Amino acid sequence: MEPTTAPSGQQKDTRTVDTLTITDNRTGKQYEIPIDNGTVKAIDLRQIKVDAEDFGMMTYDPAFMNTASCKSKITFIDGDKGILRYRGYPIDELAERCSYLETAYLLIHGELPNKAQLEEWTNNITTHTFVHENIKKFMDGFHYDANPMGMFVSTIAALSTFYPSAKKIHDPQERMLTIYRLIGKVPTLAAFAYRHSIGMPYVHPDNELTYAENFLNMMFKVAEPKYKPNAVLAKALDILFILHADHEQNCSANAMRSVGSSHVDPYSAAAAAAAALYGPLHGGANAEVLYMLDEIGSKDKIPAFIREVKDGKGKLMGFGHRVYKNYDPRAKIIKKLADQVFEVTGRNPKLDIALELERIALEDDYFVKRKLYPNVDFYSGLIYQAMKFPVDMFPVLFAIGRMSGWLAQWQELLLDPEQKIARPRQVYLGYDKREVVSLSKR
């Protein structure tokens, strides 16, 4: 049943409409601008003009620090309270009581599946884990030391050439088929990228295994006739996929929506989202944390490193967040998960440096004043490394989980009657009209 009030407690669609009274001191004119869901529509400001020639008022908001680009019912975050919910369910409950595929179903369909729905959903995804054999030739074209995230981004885009019918984005069946294919194939593409980088043969999916078990199979199977996944590690990976599944309008979701708004096929939009996630400020941060811990080397070097960060000579990777001004709820869950994984794999010695780094940072006014806390990327890499994933695979692991969130955001965009092709305006500060001077006179 749809919620009647937005999580922030404001009345939803049925509430009385409030207004903002704006006085333009340049003209003395007053304007009544409607307030809707705690926002004003930027387009309502265009009526504010100094004369008939005036284009009208716009808002200027680099990096969208204070701009809602869409209305969404998928994920709710309260940055001050450290709250994260998918379709109203708290992230810690989903991590504890659901599987990743259940959570992916929730993100896409809006409700948790019943037993029959989950069986059908799991079967549809499992029967789409294979990729066309030509994808292997595509992968083989990369250098042996190609970054696996670079390979992943390119291969997601390449999938669009194998499934031209995905362009029928207004056909619900075609959309759902692509959703099955992308969620089903991303672990295969990720594992193939890794196997290529270590010169090992590709391992085909084993559809008798669960989603996370099969990914471990395709990553780490050697000569044994059937890969036997470690149940604790497979469960930990499944939980990590849940924690990474969606995060409302983050940089890569914005890329998925912006590129998807041109009505391109979803493979191309997902490749753009994966490219955005690759950035060290976004999904690439989980790898940067490990590089940072390696650079620090030992606990006694932490004070000097912190001083460098405070002098502006670098960032404390895995810390800070545009929305969370409190502890990222996902980081808390990951920190607990680390203990379970390390019982199987042995403790990652870098955990001691990370814990000390966190302790010092959370006592230091520079970080406290800026409300910088560990985010999802601070501890996740320690688990991945303990599970024998190479560091440059970490952003790929993030992308596997996030694929279901990107697809949920993409589908919501397509079905939103208020959405059109994304085309922001600008504040032009360049030259006024001027004449070309001939080359001989320049």
Residue 18 annotated as catalytic? no
| β 83-86/39-40 pair status | unpaired
What whole-number distance in Å separates Cα of residue 108 and Cα of residue 95?
A: 17
Distinct helix (H) and strand (E) counts, the chain: 17, 6
C-alpha–C-alpha distance, residues 353 and 300, integer Å: 9
**Rounded-to-integer distance, Cα 378 and Cα 359, Å:** 13
The residue whose Cβ lies closest to ligand SDX is 320
Rounded-to-integer distance, Cα 122 and Cα 140, Å? 30
Structure tokens, 337: 């998960």
Indicate which residue of 44, 92, 282, 364 is catalytic.
Answer: 282
Of the pair 180, 379, the CB lying nearest ligand SDX is at 379
Residues in contact with ligand SDX, shown as a per-residue x/- string from 304 to 333 under the rule CB under 6 A:
-----x-----xxxxxxxxx----------
| Minimum distance from residue 313 beta carbon to ligand SDX (Å) | 10
Residue among 176 and 323 whose Cβ is closer to ligand SDX:
323
Per-residue binder mask for ligand SDX (CB under 6 A), 372-391, x = binder: x--xxx--------------
C-beta of 54 vs 61, nearer to ligand SDX: 61
247 is catalytic: no
312: left (phi over 0), alpha (psi -120 to 50) or beta: left
Q: Return the number of the residue (31 or 291) whose C-beta is nearest ligand SDX.
A: 291
Binding ligand SDX (rule: CB under 6 A), the pick from 272, 285, 341, 403 is: 285
> Smallest distance from the beta carbon of 198 to ligand SDX, in angstroms?
27
* Least separation in angstroms between CB 235 and ligand SDX: 21
Q: Residue 229, interface with ligand SDX (CB under 6 A)?
A: no
Cβ closer to ligand SDX: 217 or 385? 385
Q: Give the SS3 label for residue 176.
A: helix
Q: Min. distance of Cβ 254 from ligand SDX in angstroms?
A: 9
Q: Is 321 a catalytic residue?
A: yes
Least spacing, CB of residue 294 vs ligand SDX, in Å: 16
Interaction between residue 281 and ligand SDX (CB under 6 A)? yes
How far apart, in Å, are the Cα atoms of 313 and each of 258, 305, 310, 316? 33, 9, 7, 10
Give the contact letters, 230-269, x = binds to ligand SDX (CB under 6 A), - = no: -----------------x--xx------------------
Residue 131 in contact with residue 189, Cβ under 8 Å? Answer: yes
Give the number of other Cβ atoms within 10 Å of residue 377's Cβ: 29
Catalytic-role residue among 377, 392, 416, 432: 377
String of DSSP letters for 186-244? HHHHHHHHHHHHTTPPP----TTS-HHHHHHHHHH--SSSS----HHHHHHHHHHHHHT
Residue (of 377, 404, 341, 391) closest to 187 by Cα position = 404
Least distance from ligand SDX to the Cβ atom of residue 202, Å: 29
Residue 367 CA neighbour count, 13 Å, CB half? 23
- For binding to ligand SDX (CB under 6 A), which residues are involved? 247, 250-251, 281-283, 285, 309, 315-323, 370, 372, 375-377
List the catalytic residues: 282, 321, 377
